[in-house]
Chains A and B, each alone.
Chain A
């Protein structure tokens, strides 16, 4: 029997309590190879096809650090305004788990590669909130287990498990914030905004796929409450399995409400791991650990220390891309956007897409209107991220160009876009295949107009008599006849000319 947790009304929560957050984000680097071996680091391969003695933890195998992963870690640190360690080591975090071939995780303990930085995140109303970064360190991912038998592949009730170690040893950077205080009622929003900003930053750095749905960006949310006006932190819970930006916000909000209900009824918060359930938006306690964790960290003797030279760090700092917030500022200036327009653009996840569309030749206004309106709507109905919709910025730019050239009407243009989204090829191929080009041949139109005038002699007479507004009926008939492929404005001109008006 699971008791349904009581939760407190959110307004009351924030009136009585002050939330303290701590966010731990694990990022899988998109290096070509794993952290400590030369196996390919690619998502979705057949089981146990990307393994070697090292990442399988075979007796005798030894790790060698992927230099590119260290470089990525330092670049992430620099972008997060962190200090880069002069000297640091890997450590072994010892615990048994079948996913983890060596039964220790090669990670960093008290000597992270980068530490003490911050990330300024922009909230929905444009306010900036500074999230302090404690550290970011390098480690390796585990394999994956498939639980067989029992209900829906869950761990509980399974009869046995099947292990695939393709993911074992994939490079991870774990980014840990300092306690986030002072967010108050906006704590859930801050949490989402932070993970969003981090995702954008990592994408701009081109160090990770940052796909929360595929697990290449994973967030654990630590939440605690303290009575308003007090200093001491309350007991925290750590919520795992938070797989989308929206879930980050929901999980934090739910934990605040749950903890407040427990505390206000005189109960105590247990320090525990909780799991977020996407379907209910609630968290549930993990299996309590019978013994307290003792990871018995010690310096990894198989790897030598890392001492990034200051020259290397300086060189890497020159490779940082324009950071997302700087990028936004520049876009706002270049495209002359209001704060609100910029925010819509950013919230739609369309900024880079628009920029690339503009780069491909479209006017900023056209590019922006396509991405935040029709395409955003399509992404929404198809349930995918805008970037994964299946149309490239240069294809959008081509559609814009066809409209500007008068070869497509806006209505036809949307059909062309639909064709591209449905996988029918490039815009020009869709136009050709679907026969969507505007009928711009005046002689072809003239025949249709003559036919329409002949079919409605009384209307024709009215137009000839100067009743210009009557032309609408003829234009409509022509548009019908040409299946909407004519430019209505041109048809109207031709109708009036034919009637001598």
Chain B
């Protein structure tokens, strides 16, 4: 019994903004299934009272002084842009409203 369906793969691809092909849906469904089954082993460890580690270094409170630092010139900022117009990044029309 496959744990992850083609539909679920399609949903994930949507969330991840990947226009996957039909063939990929099948391949990924199979591969994700194997991988997720394997990594699910982390659940074997009883860890209810174990704090999660989000950072490898036990450091807190790293702050920067509120001082202006030179950034990029507009030319540098736009240097890698696929399209530029009026000093701005030109992008295709945006469909959805801001979240």
Chains A, B in direct contact (C-beta < 8 Å):
yes
Looking at the assembled complex, report how far the CB atom of A381 sits from the nearest CB atom of chain B, in whole angstroms.
36
Looking at the assembled complex, report how far the CB atom of A424 sits from the nearest CB atom of chain B, in whole angstroms.
35
Point out which of B11, B77, B92 has the most chain A C-beta atoms below 10 A from its C-beta: B77
Q: What string of 1s and 0s marks CB contacts (under 8 Å) between B41-76 and chain A?
A: 000000000000011010111111111111110100
Using Cβ atoms and an 8 Å threshold, which residues of chain B touch A66? Answer: 63-64, 66
Q: What string of 1s and 0s marks CB contacts (under 8 Å) between A41-81 and chain B?
A: 00000111111110110000000111111100000000000
Q: Does A147 contact B (CB under 8 A)?
A: yes
Looking at the assembled complex, report how far the CB atom of B41 sits from the nearest CB atom of chain A, in whole angstroms.
20
CB pair B90–A38 under 8 Å, yes or no, is: no
CB pair A304–B66 under 8 Å, yes or no, is: no
Using Cβ atoms and an 8 Å threshold, which residues of chain B touch A49? Answer: 74
Point out which of A37, A99, A304 has the most chain B C-beta atoms below 10 A from its C-beta: A304
CB-contacts of A81-97 with B (<8 A): 87, 89, 95-97
CB pair B54–A299 under 8 Å, yes or no, is: yes
Using Cβ atoms and an 8 Å threshold, which residues of chain A touch B39? Answer: none
Q: Count the A-B residue pairs with Cβ separation under 8 angstroms: how many?
A: 143
CB pair A142–B98 under 8 Å, yes or no, is: yes
Interface-located stretch among B1-9, B19-27, B29-37, B80-88:
B80-88
Given A38-B67, A49-B74, answer yes or no on A305-B60 (Cβ-Cβ < 8 Å).
yes
Q: Does A257 contact B (CB under 8 A)?
A: no
Which one of A31, A163, A299, A306 lies within 8 Å of B88 (CB-CB)?
A163
Point out which of B17, B78, B93 has the most chain A C-beta atoms below 10 A from its C-beta: B93
Q: Does B91 contact A (CB under 8 A)?
A: yes
Which one of A48, A147, A299 lies within 8 Å of B93 (CB-CB)?
A147
Using Cβ atoms and an 8 Å threshold, which residues of chain A touch B66? Answer: 31-33, 66-69
CB pair A293–B99 under 8 Å, yes or no, is: yes
Q: How far is the CA of A89 from the CA of B71 in the complex (A)?
A: 26
Residue ID in chain A nearest B92 by CB atoms: A160
CB pair B77–A48 under 8 Å, yes or no, is: yes
Residue ID in chain B nearest A56 by CB atoms: B77
CB pair B98–A39 under 8 Å, yes or no, is: no
Looking at the assembled complex, report how far the CB atom of A95 sits from the nearest CB atom of chain B, in whole angstroms.
5
Given A65-B63, A67-B64, answer yes or no on A96-B17 (Cβ-Cβ < 8 Å).
yes
CB pair B68–A39 under 8 Å, yes or no, is: yes
Q: List 9 A-B contacts (CB under 8 A).
A: A98-B91, A145-B94, A158-B93, A163-B91, A165-B77, A289-B96, A291-B14, A293-B99, A301-B55
Binding site for A on B (CB under 8 A): 11, 14-15, 17, 54-55, 57, 59-72, 74, 77-78, 85-99
In the A-B complex, list the 10 residue pairs whose CB atoms are closest, starting with the nearest: A38-B69, A67-B63, A52-B71, A68-B66, A162-B88, A299-B54, A163-B89, A307-B60, A64-B64, A47-B87
Q: Known A-B contacts: A31-B66, A67-B63, A304-B60. Give 9 more (CB < 8 A).
A: A33-B64, A48-B78, A48-B88, A69-B66, A89-B54, A97-B98, A161-B90, A287-B96, A291-B15
